[in-house]
Chains A and B, each alone.
Chain A
């Protein structure tokens, strides 16, 4: 049962245009969502996050939108740059009964920004 889905394995975008990466989830108990960026042969690095009480969070060129009714979030990158070419993972988090956080990761979307 895949609770977090990234249905697009790959995406190509021209430099300077907008990149939109999508993520769907099924568990309404998730209360926090994160995006990570991963370059080859490196570990994921945190990019941006959003709490379930918000519908938008912006950090420079990166904006995450959350639609709770649709159980959908998206990451917008504007303008896209060649250095943004990487695999992007969506992660959903909830607070477990133990008080710790549980994370479920999507399968990733490989973004290629064309110069």
Chain B
């Protein structure tokens, strides 16, 4: 079991560029999440999904989009990158009905 995998590990974007952060889990978890962590802060929820075809906004969704076409994959899309989106992004998954989340290793994104 690879668990939750994220690509890329690092990325530098110019303002206005777009990119997709990939997230895949092989644990057959229904629930998947995207968080961002800014320096010295806790994790903030961007979007989450309770199953294929179902997504919803978290605390900080502006500037991001998601889709969930399969149970395994939950990509996060940045359309017009801004310096405020410089952060470390974590994808997580969990079984429905259980609270423990399994996290990927993160993607460090810098927008300049």
Contacts and interface: CB of A to CB of B under 8 A. Distances in A.
Contact of A100 (B35, B40, B48): B48
A60 interface: no
A46 B102 contact: yes
A85 B44 CA distance: 24
Interface residues of B, number: 23
Given A43-B4, A43-B90, A105-B42, A34 B100 contact: yes
Interface in B19-48: 31, 35, 40-45, 48
A100 B102 contact: no
Contacts of B48: 100
Interface stretch (B65-73, B74-82, B103-111): B103-111
Nearest to A104: B42
Nearest to B6: A43
A42 B106 contact: yes
B106 A43 contact: yes
12 contacts: A9-B40, A32-B99, A41-B105, A43-B90, A43-B105, A45-B103, A46-B100, A93-B99, A98-B56, A100-B56, A104-B42, A107-B42
B50 interface: yes
Interface centre among A32, A44, A49, A100 (most CB of B within 10 A): A44
A43 B104 contact: yes
Contacts, number: 51
Interface of A: 4, 9, 32, 34, 36, 41-46, 49, 89, 93, 98, 100-108
B103 A43 contact: yes
Given A41-B105, A43-B105, A103-B45, A49 B40 contact: no
Nearest to A108: B42
B62 interface: no
B38 to A, nearest CB: 10
B101 interface: yes
Contacts of B105: 41-43
4 shortest A-B CB distances, which residue pairs? A43-B103, A105-B42, A105-B43, A46-B100
